[in-house]
């Protein structure tokens, strides 16, 4: 059976959802038809543009930029505050419709998801027919538009959904890569941030096609593991599968929006250590252990990326979680300024369940576990700041 993958992406999600809500509440002006934006509190770190209308975009307003900069470009810009609880409700309604068309839906953010549509033609017609049915139903029932990308794997489906917007369906099958994708600037490729694009441009690589045809040894020499990943993506190669996790296996996670743009690896890994401590503590508190650790990064332009790894054996140890997170970070980060970092653990199991043991590291693991338990007890009794890692304390001074 040929694999068919859809990537469904809500067009300007926060602004669309805000506009729909306001129209349903009786307002006459549709935010999508004027120069408008959803933005945070300009006096706080999150005082940036979260989503903008097409007219605002034509004025040069960009997602992630400070409100003051957006107002300089577009003085008549209408700003509205976000309603995150409302957006969660619209996101769930959007997901519910997708689940009626596909037995496997992977939510990758609040406003986008992958659908495995393999073998569904007997129910919903050809992939193009099914995609249009999904798109039209979301518009008719929920009031906002989506783009649907169609391909045989996730990376190509995502690239397809980013083509002309809004309210469109696009295909990007392997035999269409040269015609539709290789002509695009290399910055348009998923996983290529501003910093990576600059490095590639300095190597004379300006289009995705040029990247796809570059000797992989050259890319690895300059970009390490990341160079190998984007070379595969440029050639339309993606072995990842659509994963639908059950709620009970959702796991334990923590993320933080940082008060400044992080551009140093050492600082990022300090933040990851703090997050790993929280995740590990929550796992231990519930007597659970995680088999999978993932790291997520949101850069200063609100581009989201994530990566995960399966551990040799389940753990709730802070040091093990942090080490895995740092390895993932090294593979994932392209040098772009970081706005938000997160660690998520999943595929959790009860500590009481039988688990594979590291024969040679058992004594060390046991010592680490006792140390974690001692730290948890001290913090439980005297507060979270009663005992801190020297590396974190030093960084704060």
Which residues are tagged catalytic? 112
Chain-centre distance of CA 373, in angstroms?
32
Preceding peptide of 69 cis, ω within 30°: no
309 Cβ neighbours under 8 A, 6+ residues apart: 292, 293, 294, 324, 327, 328
Comparing CA positions, the residue from 302, 336, 343 lying closest to residue 223 is 336
333 vs 223: CA distance, rounded Å: 10
100 vs 113: CA distance, rounded Å: 14
342 vs 271: CA distance, rounded Å: 9
Do 232 and 238 touch, CB atoms closer than 8 A? yes
347 Cβ neighbours under 8 A, 6+ residues apart: 245, 249, 251, 290, 291, 292, 310, 314
10 vs 251: CA distance, rounded Å: 26
Joined together, the tokens standing for residue 379 give 């913090």
Calculate Rg over the CA atoms of the chain: 23
H helix intervals, 33-105: 54-58, 67-73, 84-101
Distances (CA, A) of 355 to 199, 323, 349: 44, 20, 9
276 vs 381: CA distance, rounded Å: 21
User: How many residues in the chain?
Assistant: 397
310 vs 216: CA distance, rounded Å: 26
Comparing CA positions, the residue from 75, 81, 68, 72 lying closest to residue 37 is 81
Helix (H) or strand (E) holding 24: helix 13-24
């Amino acid at each position: 059976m040929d694999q068919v993958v859809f990537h469904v992406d809500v067009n300007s999600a926060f602004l669309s959802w805000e506009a729909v809500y306001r129209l349903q509440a009786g307002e006459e002006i549709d935010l999508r038809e004027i120069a408008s934006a959803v933005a945070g509190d300009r006096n706080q770190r999150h005082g940036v543009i979260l989503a903008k209308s097409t007219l605002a975009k034509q004025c040069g307003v960009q997602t992630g930029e400070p409100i003051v900069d957006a107002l300089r470009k577009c003085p008549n810009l209408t700003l509205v505050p976000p309603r995150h609880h409302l957006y969660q409700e619209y996101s769930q309604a959007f997901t519910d419709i997708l689940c009626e068309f596909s037995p496997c839906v992977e939510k990758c953010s609040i406003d986008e998801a992958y659908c495995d549509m393999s073998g569904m033609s007997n129910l919903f017609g050809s992939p193009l027919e099914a995609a249009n049915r999904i798109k039209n139903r979301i518009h008719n029932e929920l009031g906002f538009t989506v783009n649907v990308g169609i391909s045989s794997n996730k990376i190509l489906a995502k690239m397809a959904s980013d083509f002309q917007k809004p309210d469109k369906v696009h295909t990007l099958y392997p035999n269409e890569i040269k015609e539709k994708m290789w002509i695009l600037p290399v910055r348009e490729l998923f996983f290529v941030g501003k910093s990576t694009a600059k490095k590639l441009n300095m190597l004379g690589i300006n289009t995705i096609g040029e990247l796809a045809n570059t000797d992989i040894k050259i890319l690895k020499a300059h970009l390490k593991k990341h160079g190998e990943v984007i070379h595969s993506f440029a050639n339309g190669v993606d072995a990842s599968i659509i994963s639908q996790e059950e709620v009970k296996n959702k796991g334990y996670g923590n993320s933080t929006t940082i008060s400044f743009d992080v551009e140093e690896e050492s600082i990022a890994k300090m933040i990851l250590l703090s997050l790993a401590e929280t995740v590990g503590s929550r796992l231990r508190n519930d007597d659970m252990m995680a088999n999978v650790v993932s790291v997520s990064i949101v850069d200063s332009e609100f581009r989201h990326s994530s990566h995960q790894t399966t551990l040799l054996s389940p753990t709730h140890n802070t040091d093990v979680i942090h080490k895995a997170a740092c390895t993932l970070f090294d593979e994932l980060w392209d040098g772009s300024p970081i706005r938000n970092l997160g660690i998520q653990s999943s595929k959790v199991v009860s500590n009481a369940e039988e688990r594979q043991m590291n024969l040679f590291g058992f004594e060390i693991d046991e010592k680490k576990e006792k140390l974690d338990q001692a730290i948890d007890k001290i913090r439980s009794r005297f507060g979270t700041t009663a005992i801190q890692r020297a590396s974190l304390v030093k960084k704060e001074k």
